[in-house]
Structure 1
Amino acid sequence: MDKKIYLTKKGLEELKKEHDELIKTKRPQTVGRLATARDMGDLAENAEYTAARDELGFIDGRIDELEDLVKNATIIAEKAHGKKSKIVNLGSKVIIKTKGRKEIFTIVGEWESNPEEKKISNESPLGKALIGKMINDKIEINAPAGKIGYKIIAIE
């Protein structure tokens, strides 16, 4: 994996926790299910064996992916709560205004983005447009419904 992976400290901890859960719990359980299913005999028509084998493949793939992510992670420096910043960057909390509504977003790496938590990726159209901008800057992004304009109200 050559692409930089940007994560908050919390995001990195969550990936490590998922990795540990897979290694210490889920993989051993699945290997046990696979062994039990193998002992049932005819593997060609053994649905439990096939399901356990497929699940083990998925788990091993996810373990490899998590190890790559952790190895290539660049930690986003988190701002002190309430501390103002002049320029939008990774880790910034940005208050923007569009169509009379204020919205607050946190700019994170793509692996941590979560629209429900108002965490947007630096690779998303809005994230890309916000990076490097300052308070009172106006941006415009193309959306399926047309162009949407935003004004940056505050940056933390």
Structure 2
Amino acid sequence: MSSAIPLTARGAERLREELARLKSKERPAVIEAIAEARAQGDLSENAEYEAAREKQAFIEGRINELEGLLSNAHIIEPAELDADGRIVFGATVDLEDLESGDKVCYQIVGNAEADVRANLLSIASPVARALIGKSAGDVAEVQAPSGLREYEVLEVRYV
């Protein structure tokens, strides 16, 4: 029995778009590439055929993964949250690193949609775990590989 996978509404939409692209564009293109490679004859020494088969296996695996994620998804719409200004799943948080003065903005999201480069922070990450339950003005302490880091919560939004 699978448990619910938390996703923001925006994250679920991105996964649906990726699934649609894989099914409508990537899958047909790789099937065509396999057919073209087969037409070239001897498959035992056909690098194009092997590459196309590997790509097909990757695409089919990703389609299965996305279908599983989406079928078990628990969609959370951050704008509909009533968390009294506290950091919860889906919240967007403005932080200041108290040592460096650097300011960052993260949205707390599920593992399936996390992407640090896009400022989407996994709920399972040490930073997110330290932030959950905090409010603007609070300081979160995070044990990082470089040592203890302190972040002040500047603002919490649900967008």
Q: How does 1:98-109 map to 2 (within 5 A)?
A: 98-99=97-98, 100-109=101-110
Structure 2 residue runs without a partner (length 5+): none
2: CA distance, partners of 1:62 / 1:84: 34
User: Which amino acid is the alignment partner of residue 96 of structure 2?
Assistant: K
Counterpart in the other structure of 2:121: 120
8 A Cα contact 1:84 1:155, kept in partner: no
2: CA distance, partners of 1:115 / 1:85: 26
Matched, 1:28 2:28: yes
User: Which amino acid is the alignment partner of residue 45 of structure 2?
Assistant: E
Deviation per CA, 1:54-99, whole angstroms, max 9, x where unpaired?
111111101100100110111122227xx98421101112222222
8 A Cα contact 1:31 1:56, kept in partner: yes
Counterpart in the other structure of 1:11: 11
Matched, 1:89 2:108: no
1: CA distance, partners of 2:108 / 2:24: 32
1: CA distance, partners of 2:54 / 2:106: 38
Shift of 1:3: 4.7
User: Which amino acid is the alignment partner of residue 19 of structure 1?
Assistant: L
Counterpart in the other structure of 2:66: 66
2: CA distance, partners of 1:61 / 1:2: 18
Q: 1:84 to 1:64 in 2, by over 3 A?
A: closer
Report the secondary structure of 1:79's partner residue.
Answer: helix
2: CA distance, partners of 1:104 / 1:16: 25
Shift of 1:147: 0.5
Structure 1 residue runs without a partner (length 5+): none
Q: CA RMSD in A?
A: 2.0
8 A Cα contact 1:91 1:107, kept in partner: yes
Counterpart in the other structure of 2:139: 138
Matched, 1:2 2:13: no
Deviation per CA, 1:109-147, whole angstroms, max 9, x where unpaired?
122222233221111100011112233332211111110
2: CA distance, partners of 1:103 / 1:26: 35
Q: What TM-score comes out, normalization by structure 1 length?
A: 0.88
Report the secondary structure of 2:56's partner residue.
Answer: helix
Query: Which shows bigger deviation, 125-134 or 92-101?
Result: 92-101
Shift of 1:9: 1.4
Q: What TM-score comes out, normalization by structure 2 length?
A: 0.86
Higher helix share: 2
2: CA distance, partners of 1:129 / 1:2: 27
Matched, 1:147 2:152: no
2: CA distance, partners of 1:119 / 1:10: 11
